[in-house]
Structure 1
């Protein structure tokens, strides 16, 4: 049974969502402020966190920053309708997805299952899935990665993007496909988020012997993770 942590100061909404999710087979814990929630969210006792951005004492963006300092637990944000700034900030900090409030319990449950499937946590425990692409080894279940046998520190967003490229190593992947596979949604026009995160991943991987990046770009088309031999 997957354990969900609901962090929201709207007690009425939290109660409604909890009742629905329990009926859907989830184990649900709740917290109504950031300071109370931080210990639960980073304790490795939950499989996924639902985080409201508008929180008392510690807002959702600050709480997400603190969670990401010590945990890779998936995080689904609850954001105000049309608040693109908070969504972008949250995704850049490693949130896995967002849902606009007000949201239906059914939509929330579906989004939670989609994220859990993507990170290999659904069905109880962590799925023993390993991706090997040359010097890169990725463990989607634990959201851990190694480069040349050494730990590779990635944010949640960076991990999702690199996982798509690793599963398609040696092949050009369009930015639209990267967005759909990594985040489950189409890429919006003029959205440069993927480019920014790919740039960060490139720096962490370093360069090849020929001085070029391990991640090649084709202008206007997409990105490709190279094999060792290429």
Structure 2
């Protein structure tokens, strides 16, 4: 888990949260701080992998405050100000890079991790722990699922079932194994009806109908299979 300390004004927390959405898929944790004295304390306590600081004025004094604390932690200056002076001042005060809002969540992610990769030699490809099946993307580190680029809210049980099926694409997963994934072995109060209910909800949320390329097929007397002709091993 990479901790990113974020210093911004209260009115910008929603904007920054939206900016960080894509990065959170890859185990980046953003700690928000609004008070500068508290931010300094948090900096020493957390030893963050990077700092994200909102620049609210053209002289970007906020950057200078934190640059004097360390010259080894990457410092990303972010601002909604349209003037060029803010960007120039941010760089002059020690910012590693300057990001002008609005900025897409995916763009921010690639800019952030490009900097982290250079500074810490992070194994960039290892952060992309995903399983891609058709229009479904499963982020196995953050337990998130996207359908056509949109987050799908799955319950813990639904996610576990999907992950089990996705790890065995085009293979039959035994019903007993699915029971074990849903219920602890010490309390096997499972029923086929309960399993079918979870699968029904999973099909509905992911649009896995009979006429789609990706389907959950019932293998009578054996189990279930996440089937697709487009999956490459």
Q: TM-score range by the shorter chain?
A: 0.3 to 0.5
Normalised by the length of structure 1, the TM-score is 0.46
Normalised by the length of structure 2, the TM-score is 0.46
Higher alpha-carbon Rg: 2
